[in-house]
């Protein structure tokens, strides 16, 4: 009798969990990343923007919650019959810490340790959501005419916990975009 009750209770709990996962997971729309590759005679650059999630991030910053973006940019040599070969990976971590008393935001480039304070939330948003002409790799390390793939992944963390086990498990705050290119 007790065994049957335990089996029914665990089945009901599993069913409730599955319903929550199936119903709530699609409700969270992942933002999209705009990605462009640019190259000059010496370097390959990445231009990327998170265009349609700025209102949510601005609201979170105005509420006083710090926001961290971790950009990871990879260049892969495309191979036809095998896994792509990783040529370079660059990781950029940027954090915005709000100060509600002074209505300012401290912009911290965690990768370099450089920080500054701004009094305009638009500048804080641009700092988090845009990489303009960000140098990724020296062009001399890439071959002309060979196909390459630039992959940009973005993790967003709100608050000081940097993502709990639930965020890591489901990847709620992760976005990825890829772009194929060939250098002349």
pLDDT value of position 117: 95
Q: What is the pLDDT along the chain (184 residues), one digit of tens a residue?
A: 656 655 665 555 555 554 444 444 444 445 577 888 888 889 999 998 876 667 888 888 889 999 999 999 999 999 988 899 999 999 999 999 999 899 999 999 998 999 999 999 899 999 998 999 999 999 999 999 999 999 999 888 888 755 555 555 544 567 888 989 998 8
pLDDT value of position 70: 92
Whether 166 and 178 map to the same domain: the answer is: yes
The two structure tokens encoding residue 23? 């119903």
The DSSP symbol for 119 reads S
Whether 68 and 118 map to the same domain: the answer is: yes
Whether 7 and 63 map to the same domain: the answer is: no
Can you give the residue range of the structural domain that contains 16?
A: 1-28
CB 78 within 8 A of CB 149: yes
Overall domain count for the chain: 2
Q: What are phi and psi of 176, to 5 degrees?
A: -135, 145
Whether 91 and 4 map to the same domain: the answer is: no
DSSP string, 56-117: HHHHHHHTT--EEEEEEEEEEE--SSSPPEEEEEEEEEEEEEEETTTTEEEEEETTTTEEEE
pLDDT value of position 26: 41
CA 181/CA 24 separation, integer angstroms: 37
């Amino acid at each position: 009798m007790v065994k049957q009750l335990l089996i029914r209770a665990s089945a009901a709990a599993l069913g409730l969990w599955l319903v929550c996962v199936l119903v709530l997971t699609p409700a969270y729309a992942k933002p999209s990343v705009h990605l462009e590759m640019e190259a000059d005679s010496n370097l390959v650059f990445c231009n990327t923007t998170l265009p349609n999630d700025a209102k949510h991030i601005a609201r979170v910053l105005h509420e006083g919650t710090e926001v961290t973006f971790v950009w990871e940019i990879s260049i892969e040599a495309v191979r036809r019959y095998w896994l792509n070969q990783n040529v370079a990976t660059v990781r950029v971590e940027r954090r915005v810490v709000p100060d509600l008393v002074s209505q300012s935001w401290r912009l911290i480039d965690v990768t370099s340790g450089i920080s500054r304070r701004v009094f305009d939330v638009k500048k804080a948003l641009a700092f988090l959501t845009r990489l303009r002409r960000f140098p990724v790799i020296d062009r001399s390390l890439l071959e002309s005419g060979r196909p390459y793939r630039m992959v940009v992944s973005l993790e967003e963390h709100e608050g000081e916990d940097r993502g709990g086990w639930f965020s890591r498990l489901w990847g709620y705050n992760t976005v990825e975009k890829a772009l194929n290119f060939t250098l002349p």
